[in-house]
Amino acid sequence: MAKGGFPGGRMTGGMNMNMIKQAQRMQQEMLRQQQEVEEKEFSASAGGGMVTATVNGKRELTRLVIDPDAVIDAAGPEDAEMLADAVTAAVNEALSKAGEEMAAAMGRLTGGLNLGL
């Protein structure tokens, strides 16, 4: 009998090659899913719809819409601060949606394993 108890000592080598091929397929699928998410857009509004932010899956701000009435009606520093808060909230919410989508895509692929992705 061959070394390791397997005929010809080949079984362990074959298992390793299968594992490598499986890992390569998984990596390709992860890249494909990542690219799909990166191409999507995620929007969120804040301040009662006064501000809408849109980001892509790369977490880049691609569009920011501010209702003209919010600017026209602004009477003082408090209004500017409120507008800034609304912009921040809308951007953060849109970024959160993009992150959740990426995590969900990777979770479907890894079966829920946390691989630090």
29-33, 70-74, 81-85, 96-100, range with the lowest pLDDT:
70-74
The per-residue pLDDT of the chain, averaged, comes to 82
Q: CB-based contacts of 45: which residues, under 8 Å, 6+ apart?
A: 51, 52, 53, 90
Q: How confident is the model at residue 1 (pLDDT cuts 50, 70, 90)?
A: very low
> Are the C-beta atoms of residues 47 and 83 closer than 8 Å to each other?
yes
Residue 47 in this model has a pLDDT that exceeds 70:
yes
Residue 34 in this model has a pLDDT that exceeds 80:
yes
Dihedrals φ, ψ of 38, to 5°? -60, -25
Q: How confident is the model at residue 114 (pLDDT cuts 50, 70, 90)?
A: low
Dihedrals φ, ψ of 54, to 5°? -125, 130
What is the arithmetic mean of pLDDT over 66-81?
A: 77
**Structure confidence at residue 16 (pLDDT):** 87
Write down the H helix ranges in 1-117. 11-39, 68-72, 77-110
According to CATH, the topology of domain 3-110 is: Ybab; Chain: A; (3.30.1310)
Between residues 23 and 7, which one has the greater pLDDT? 23
- Domain ranges for the chain: 3-110
